[in-house]
Structure formats: C-alpha cells, structure tokens
Amino acid sequence: MKKLLLLLLLSGFISTSFAQSFHLGIRAGLNESRLSEINFLNNGTAVKGNSSYISRFHAGLFAEIPAGRFSIEPGVFYTEKGAENKYQATTASSSQSYYQKTTLNYLEIPVNILYNIPVSVGKIFVGGGPYAAFGLSGRYRSNYYISSGQNTQGGEIQGDVRFDKSGYRNPDYGINTLLGLRLKNNISFNVGYGFGFTNLYRSGATAKNKVLSISVGYEFL
C-alpha cells in the first residue's frame, strides 16, 4: 500500500513538471481534527476513550493539471492535526481518568483526481486521492487523576511529540476527499475530509488521523 501511494504521489509531480498547461495556486483554511479508535491499555485491558475535535489550520501550494472534464491536483501543505482525548477506567478498588490534548504538525503532499462540472459562475469539482504526511513537530499536555479508597492523586505532564522509532509513526498515509466551487475569478472554496490509514501509536493502542477541512484558494498562474 505504501509503495502504491508513493508511486501515485510521484506520478502527480512528474505530470506537473511536463504538463503543457497547468495552473498554480495557494490555499489555506481551517482543520477540525481528531484521532479515531482511541484506546489504551490499563493493566493489560483495552479501555475505550473519547476523542474530540480541535481547531487547527493548513496552508500551502497546489497545481491543477487539466485533462478534459478531469484534472490532477498535486500540492504541498503545512497542516496541523491532533485531538482532545478523554479516558476513564473504573475497577472495584480504584478509578482512573485522563485528559490529553495533542497537536501534530505535518508537511502533507496530496495528489487528488477531480471531476469538474461547468456551472454559470465557474465550475464545481469533486474527487479525492492519496496523501503522504511527514511529521515535523508536535506537543501534548496530559492531566490524570487516580482515586483508590480515600486516596486521590493527580498531576500534569507535557512535552514534545517525537516522530521516530520510539515515538509516533512517521510518515502518515491516507486518503483525502474534496468537494468545492471554483469561480471564474480564480477564487475557490472547498470542503474535504482526510482519512488516515497509519496507526500513529506503536504499542497497546490505536489512533488514526481524521480531519475535516474548509479552505479558500486562489489560482494566480
């Protein structure tokens, strides 16, 4: 799967380099991001957690390569993802609760295939494609509370997210979907959703990036 996605990404940039006619633009907007399928291990038992969306942003460059009603749209974006996660585990003798906010910053390279529908004000486009996102940096802040009998303790832990063999898996691979409107004055509006395939955690837990995005773009070439 990873080799296939990398070949698709490479083909998109090769097409850009050799295309006779293409458009270049900028795009920026809002990310509503969360981590799916959150769980962790508590004494060997998997405990389900709740993941909430956090608001982040993205910005970058994209190219549009027309091919009749279709077009290929590779791009390079700085994009921020992450989530707010809550976990709770209760046994006969103790209760544990955790809250963690994580922010993840990526350089993301998507290659989308779009179908364009002409309308009076411009064109509607719909489609999607694979992406590879390379982790740059990140932060986390965790609060925990543990109660056992009449004893209660808690604290806060924070630090940097590591994208290496002892930290989060890197890169992240996935699929984007897009729906938008490009006006005749070259301004565009689109909404998208990104489905991460990579389990970011290395042991005992599962977490994948899920991102709802709203963007405004402008083609200047």
pLDDT of residue 38: 61
And the tokens for 162? 């590591």
191 assigned to some structural domain = no
pLDDT of residue 202: 82
And the tokens for 130? 């694979």
When pLDDT is cut at 50, 70 and 90, the band that residue 12 belongs to is low
Domain that holds residue 122: 2-16+24-173+196-219
Residue 39 has pLDDT above 90, yes or no: no
pLDDT of residue 98: 79
Q: Of 148, 159, 48, whose CA–CA distance to 98 is shortest? A: 48
Which residue is it, tokens 């808690």?
154
163 assigned to some structural domain = yes
183 assigned to some structural domain = no
Instruction: Please give the angle made by the CA atoms of 212, 214 and 215, to the nearest 5 degrees.
Output: 140
Number of domains in the chain: 1
When pLDDT is cut at 50, 70 and 90, the band that residue 146 belongs to is confident
9 assigned to some structural domain = yes
152 assigned to some structural domain = yes
Residue 19, CA atoms < 13 Å, CB-side half-sphere: 19
Is the pTM of the predicted complex or chain greater than 0.85? no
187 assigned to some structural domain = no
The one-letter amino acid code at 176 reads N
The one-letter amino acid code at 219 reads E
Contacts of 218 by beta carbon, 8 Å cutoff, 6+ apart: 25, 26, 27, 186, 187, 188
- Distance, CA of 99 to CA of 83 (rounded, Å): 11
140 assigned to some structural domain = yes
When pLDDT is cut at 50, 70 and 90, the band that residue 99 belongs to is confident
210 assigned to some structural domain = yes
